[in-house]
A and B are shown apart, each in its own frame.
Chain A
Amino acid sequence: MTRDLVVQFLAQGAQMTFVLLVAPLAVGVVRKVKALLMRRQGPPLVQAYRDLAKLLRKESVIAGSASWLFRTAPYLIFALTWVAAALVPSFASGLMFNWAADVVALVALLGAARALLALAGMDVGTSFGGIGSSREMMIATLAEPAMMLIVLTLAIAAGTTRLAGVADYFIAEPFAVRVSLALSLISLIIVALAENARIPVDNPVTHLELTMVHEAMVLEYSGRHLALIEAASHLKLVLYISLLVCLFAPFGMAPATAGVGGWAIGLAAWTAKLLFCAALLGVWEVSIAKMRVFRLPDFVGIAFVFGFLAILLAFLTRGVFE
């Protein structure tokens, strides 16, 4: 019994560490694929690690008008995002935190992190921080309800809001094409693009005043604070990819009863899927242009529309209206 507990504990710890360690690699893959498709050499795959290491060594400059919130926000954001990333079942569905891995809790954790970031962006009182925060909130007001609709659609299908339960349900269920699930997949992809500040919603590499959203908020940060925020955004990318993979392509994931062997297979499958999705993201980002900010509500609104359609169809299939 005690031994089981220790193994469980170690597995969960390993998952958390592994997610943290692999996150910059995923970002590196996205950048490398983008660069290669543009016929550039691109930064090496480990560049994201080097950036983080460099930032951690550097001094953190804080504006004179900054309050305690500005200094504490990066730590809280990082912690919230890391916990959220630990909640998503990555390579096994029977890990220790899974009893708490409720999708609603996940949305709440990410929402809290976002609120903190927006507050920190406005804290110093520069105009860029304010504009970034306001845009981020505009996107969030559309993306978050869409996310909740997707969650509820899946919960209706699987009968639980626990992520591990949903994944187990889809592993057990024979493969079936369902409109409501297809719609929620598209919707979740749009939400993921919006939340991770990827093209076409936001360009992660630009610092152009008119277009930046995420970068505008973190413009005042430097040194270890910036490193934490960057690490949190890497984690968030991995989190959303894991979420997509765990909900819509959970094959290979170790079931709740699997031992160490099952975990190894699950780990290999998850890493492969993660890197594949990162490469796909790179291809996607190269092939599309960033949207005008005022066009964004329409784009993210599609996620809401699809989420709503998905839940309507799910209701219809189950005859809830009767």
Chain B
Amino acid sequence: MNQAYDVSHLLAGAMLVTSFALLYQQRIGAVLNAFAVQSVTLALAVAWAAWSDNRPDLFITAFIALVLKGIVIPVALHRTVARLGIHREVEKVVGVGAALLVGLALTGLAQALVVKVASATSGHAREELALALSIVLMGFLMMIVRRNAVTQVVGFMSMENGLILAATGARGMPLVVEVSVAFSVLIALFVFAVFVFRIRERFDTVDIEALDRMRGDRR
């Protein structure tokens, strides 16, 4: 067990913990802060990988993660929340306990899956991949259990955090793809922001349950 491996594993584990924090928090402001922490941890993890594996191009990835997702997006979302006037709103989730249990099950699923699928790879890459896949699944879960449009955006971004972590561990994603993904995420944020305001204009709320009526399956 070498030090480089320990630290990267620790940072990836910390990201998974923040994923659980995202599920646990009830206030929107706290959710956004947890997301910022996760992104900064991602930046640290990527920077550590860049330094320890001597792959300087990853520093750019780390920098993008830090600036865009650690600072710009959380600040923008905080502003959106403030403008919507929902910063004190306590969100009704499925129930924290149930969400956390489902999250645990998903983590177990991710690990079992990665062990089966990627049995040829080394232990290190496999663990990193398992953690990244759990973070992606937790992002999915967050998009499912949260009903507020802003926290849905956070779930999406947190999923993307997991993807970047996976790309770092698997030594795959070339820089061009990396940069374009980062920018498409940023564009997605703008789209989401416009979308959120449109939802509110139309329904006077950002609770996406109101969208059910648009589909026609009125209860």
Contacts and interface: CB of A to CB of B under 8 A. Distances in A.
A182 B9 CA distance: 11
A170 to B, nearest CB: 14
Interface string A162-177: 0000000000000011
Interface residues of A, number: 23
A24 interface: no
A179 B9 contact: yes
Given A312-B108, A312-B111, A316-B130, A178 B9 contact: yes
Nearest to A178: B6
A209 interface: no
A75 B45 CA distance: 53
B111 A182 contact: no
A321 B127 CA distance: 12
A4 interface: no
Contacts, number: 64
A319 B126 CA distance: 10
B103 interface: yes
Contacts of B123: 317, 319
B115 A176 contact: no
Given A301-B96, A316-B130, A317-B123, A308 B13 contact: no
A177 B7 CA distance: 7
A316 B13 contact: no
B177 interface: no
B147 to A, nearest CB: 19
A309 B101 CA distance: 11
Given A317-B123, A321-B112, A176 B6 contact: yes
Interface string B120-149: 000100110010000000000000000000
Contacts of B108: 312
A183 interface: yes
Interface in A175-190: 176-180, 182-183
Nearest to A186: B17
Contacts of A308: 104
Interface in B93-127: 96-97, 100, 103-104, 107-108, 111-112, 115-116, 119, 123, 126-127
Contacts of A179: 9-10, 12-14
Contacts of A59: none
Interface residues of B, number: 29
A65 B134 CA distance: 55
Contacts of A317: 123, 127
A315 B111 CA distance: 9
A316 B17 contact: no
A177 B127 contact: no
A298 B107 contact: no
A138 to B, nearest CB: 12
Interface in B1-18: 1, 3, 6-7, 9-10, 12-14, 16-17
Interface in A296-312: 297-298, 301-302, 305-306, 308-309, 312
A308 B115 CA distance: 18
Given A297-B97, A301-B96, A319-B123, A309 B10 contact: no
Given A177-B9, A302-B24, 12 more contacts: A176-B6, A177-B6, A177-B10, A179-B9, A179-B12, A298-B97, A301-B97, A306-B17, A309-B17, A317-B127, A321-B112, A321-B115
22 contacts: A177-B7, A177-B10, A178-B10, A179-B12, A179-B13, A180-B13, A183-B13, A298-B24, A298-B96, A298-B97, A301-B96, A301-B97, A301-B100, A302-B20, A309-B17, A312-B107, A312-B111, A313-B13, A313-B127, A316-B127, A321-B112, A322-B119
